[in-house]
A and B are shown apart, each in its own frame.
Chain A
Amino acid sequence: AAGVIQSPRHLIKEKRETATLKCYPIPRHDTVYWYQQGPGQDPQFLISFYEKMQSDKGSIPDRFSAQQFSDYHSELNMSSLELGDSALYFCASILALQGNEQFFGPGTRLTVL
């Protein structure tokens, strides 16, 4: 079965640069979530989208923005990168009517130098 796809898998950027992470949810899934996992930390919720509209917002810095497109894929845009942004970024998706179990992608490892 098709899974959640994230690209790129690895990304290295310099401080103050920008980065764009992409997430392709499982086909027919209409809801996407972004999580950030720092080293040795638990995944922290950043933001979610349902039917292309932002549905919830967590601890996402103002330097970050995200959107969900008409094909339900989502992009997380990160600007003015800081060393502390180095983390694993996971995307997860669900079909909202089917509820709670989120399916996660493999993650994008962002390293800011």
Chain B
Amino acid sequence: DQQVKQNSPSLSVQEGRISILNCDYTNSMFDYFLWYKKYPAEGPTFLISISSIKDKNEDGRFTVFLNKSAKHLSLHIVPSQPGDSAVYFCAASALGSNYKLTFGKGTLLTVNP
């Protein structure tokens, strides 16, 4: 039972354009959502997060949007750069869960020069 779903295994965009990575979740107890970026042979690196009391959080080129009623969040990267090419994991934690993370299967983003 995949509680966090990233339905696009891969995404390819041109440098300078917007990348939109999507994530859906099923567990209503999730109250904190995070995006991690992962390069091969490295551990996941924290990118940006959002609490369930917000619907948007922005940090430089990265913006995360949360639609609680649809149980959907998205990560926007604009403008996309070749160095953004990596696997992006959506993750969630539930109140009272000691912050343990439930991950999606990841989306491989390729930004073409």
Please list the residues of chain A having a beta carbon within 8 angstroms of any beta carbon in chain B.
4, 6, 31, 33, 35, 40-45, 48, 50, 55-56, 58, 90, 92, 94, 96, 99-107
Q: How far is the CB of A21 from chain B (nearest CB, A)?
A: 13
Decide yes or no: A102 and B104 within 8 Å by CB, A43-B44, A90-B44, A107-B43 being known contacts: no
Contacts of B4 in A (CB 8 A): 42
Given A42-B103, A101-B34, decide whether A56 and B44 contact each other with a Cβ distance below 8 A.
no
Q: In the bound complex, how far is the Cα of B102 from the Cα of A48, in angstroms? A: 13
Q: With the chains together, A104 CA to B41 CA distance in Å? A: 12
B93 at the binding interface (Cβ < 8 Å)? yes
Checking B41, B45, B89 against A43 with a beta-carbon cut-off of 8 angstroms, the contacting residue is: B89
CB pair A104–B44 under 8 Å, yes or no, is: yes
Q: Which of B43, B93, B97, B98 has a CB less than 8 Å from the CB of A106?
A: B43
A41 to B103 Cα, complex, angstroms:
10
Known: A41-B105, A42-B106, A43-B89. A4 touches B43 (CB 8 A): yes
How near does chain A come to B34, taking the closest CB pair, in angstroms? 7
> B102 CB to closest chain A CB, in angstroms?
7
| Cβ-defined contact, A106 with B42, below 8 A | yes
Known contacts A90-B44, A107-B43: does B103 contact A100 (CB below 8 Å)?
A: no
Query: With a CB–CB cut-off of 8 A, which chain B residues contact A92?
Result: 43, 101
Contacts of B101 in A (CB 8 A): 33, 35, 43, 45, 92, 102
How far apart are B59's CB and chain A's nearest CB, in angstroms? Answer: 12
**A102 surroundings in chain B (CB, below 8 A):** 34, 46, 99, 101
In the bound complex, CA of A4 to CA of B42 (Å): 12
Whether B105 contacts A94 by the Cβ 8 Å rule is no
Closest approach, in angstroms, between the C-beta of A24 and any C-beta of chain B? 13
Output the least CB separation between A69 and chain B (Å). 19
Determine if A100 and B41 form an interchain contact, defined as CB atoms under 8 angstroms apart: no
B42's nearest neighbour on chain A, judged by CB, is A106
- The interface residues of chain A lying within 8 Å CB-to-CB of B65 are none
Most chain B beta-carbon neighbours within 10 Å: one of A6, A33, A104, A106:
A104
